[in-house]
Amino acid sequence: MEKNIVHIVPQVEVRVIECGPLRIGGRVRIIMPDGSVLVKRRTFICRCGRSKTGLFCDGSHAL
């Protein structure tokens, strides 16, 4: 039975930070609404809607 289990090593980790952003670790490609592409190894995505930078956390959630 054990031999049917496929072990997958995740390449991207998404961590939910309590009362804060999503921390995305790993090489990711982000396609923005204007079509521009960002490649990052680690990024923090705003979940609170208060960031002055739009998509990315700028620490405003803590104010």
Q: What tokens does 37 get?
A: 């592409």
Closest CB 7 distance from ligand FES, rounded Å:
33
Distance CA 41, CA 23 (A): 11
| Stretch near ligand FES under the rule CB under 6 A, chosen from 3-11, 25-33, 34-42, 48-56 | 48-56
The residues near 23 (Cβ < 8 Å, ≥ 6 apart) are: 13, 14, 15, 17, 42, 43, 44
| Stretch near ligand FES under the rule CB under 6 A, chosen from 7-15, 23-31, 34-42, 55-63 | 55-63
Closest CB 50 distance from ligand FES, rounded Å:
5
